[in-house]
Amino acid sequence: MNQNMTTAHISTSPRWSWRIAAIALALGASGCAVVPADLGRSEVDSLITERGQTVDTGDTAALLASLITPSLSADDAVRIALINNPELQATYAKLGFAVADVYEAGRIRNPFLSGSVLTPNRAGERDQVSLGLVGSFTDLITLPARKRLAAAEYAAVQQQIGAAVLETAADAESAYYQFVGAKQVAVLRTQIAKTAGLSAALAERYHDAGNLTPRELAMERAAAAEAQLEAFDADAKAYAMRIALGTVMGLRVNGHWDAPAQLPVPLASDEPLDELLELAAQSRLDLAAAHAHADMVADQRGVTGWTRWLGDLEVGIERERETDGARLKGSSVDWELPIFTQNKDALLRLDADLQMAIAEVRRLTLAVGNEVHLAFAETADARARVTLYRDRLVPARVAISARAKEEEAFMLIGIFELLETKQQEYDAYQGYLEVVRDYWLARTELTRAIGNTLPGSQNIGKERLDVEKLIQPKKGGAHAQHNMHGDHKPDGDSK
């Protein structure tokens, strides 16, 4: 008993005994709480499904076996991560703590059974025997409020876990595009290294025939070596990105899974900013969880405000046999009188907690809007860069290389100038592949900022960039329009 509290003990008349016993039975019946079989995971899955993500259930091993292939898509990578990522599984386990809180809030404390045996100091008298059963009446009064508060906090936890699931989905999609983009660059650099090697071998023959100077031969050899080094670097980067993707999917890097080195062609158009801002306000689960937590704290503050005057109220029944054989029975009440303290400390803490919760809602609201603006700007910037590379830079570099080769053939320029223009052409190819990758990464970040699948994602077609076709010489010479999609007709014939 708190030393600052005064406890009033009241014994009631026997006619109240059965009423108190009935109350105790009611307490036990009303305190029962049902624990969901899946701890509420199905409700979290519903939140994820509403936001456009596929939630797989059932035999995880069989599902993984069907998804893990050498030709993973971005959707496959996300689905694997959502059922196999170890960190995400640990996050789901937090549902158990939340359900435990709900279960605890829906019950009352166990009653206390007391008993005593007192031996008299006079011969011939019986021992005095007392029995008592006491339960918390305060628990009964506050039961609806406690259940309501626990349910609200449970809903907030579900939303927080849902937000973590969507974060994992975005991480998997981002890692996928990083990996595929790195693989494309590696394929490009491998092809360039092969071409440089063939050029160096041809230069050897020209030198042996006396048609190439030793300096020009050395330049060809150096260019081939540099191309091979860049291919090594690209392969190492692709391997690192494979590890990153495998980690988020919960798979070993040496497993029998892979993805084709072909990024999707950018969409014809992206969603308007106003639509995305509205969707984010409706979809962000972390923002919804912050609102729910603030509402719960405000409710808890109100409950604490009126219960602090109640104190701890316990009711019970007692039965006693006196030393002369007389039997006494009745009911009792123990009430903690809130004289010296009225739980003011709890109110102060809740006031601070409420201020923090409101501030967190404001912070997240601001952050969501800014994140959407930033991701939208980055997507627009990536689209502009894709257009510039596709329509202007790469075609110009191809034309320059073609003219330079003609001029080198007529000895108007040297091999050094030709190699430099060819290297610039290769750099333009790589830059184009990288800005296409950046476009899809920006859309992934936009998905993360929205907290929902982007409406335009349904328009992603089967068109893919093919590196080997991309760098093939185009029919019609340097004046032919460059085909930037690799597996499509040139832009002028695409309609």
Chain segment 202-257, per-residue pLDDT in tens: 889 888 988 888 988 898 899 899 999 999 999 999 999 999 999 999 999 998 99
Chain centre to alpha carbon of residue 384? 29
pLDDT band at 344 (very low <50, low <70, confident <90, very high): confident
- pLDDT, residue 109, reads 80
Distance of alpha carbon 339 from alpha carbon 248, whole angstroms: 57
Q: At residue 311, what are phi and psi to the nearest 5 degrees? A: 75, -175
What pTM was computed for the model?
A: 0.82
Domains, the chain: 8-55+66-309+317-493 (1.20.1600.10)
Q: Which residues pair with 10 in a beta bridge?
A: 333
Distance of alpha carbon 358 from alpha carbon 484, whole angstroms: 51
Residue 287, pLDDT > 60, answer yes
Find the range with the poorest average confidence among 376-380, 435-439, 456-460: 456-460
- pLDDT, residue 12, reads 45
Distance of alpha carbon 361 from alpha carbon 345, whole angstroms: 24
Cβ atoms within 10 Å of 221's Cβ, excluding its own: 17
Residue 475, pLDDT > 70, answer no
Find the range with the poorest average confidence among 57-66, 73-82, 290-299: 57-66
- pLDDT, residue 126, reads 86
Q: Which two tokens stand for residue 293?
A: 């937590």
Distance of alpha carbon 154 from alpha carbon 115, whole angstroms: 40
Distance of alpha carbon 307 from alpha carbon 343, whole angstroms: 9
Mean pLDDT of 58-83: 92
pLDDT band at 11 (very low <50, low <70, confident <90, very high): very low
Q: Which two tokens stand for residue 357?
A: 């919760």
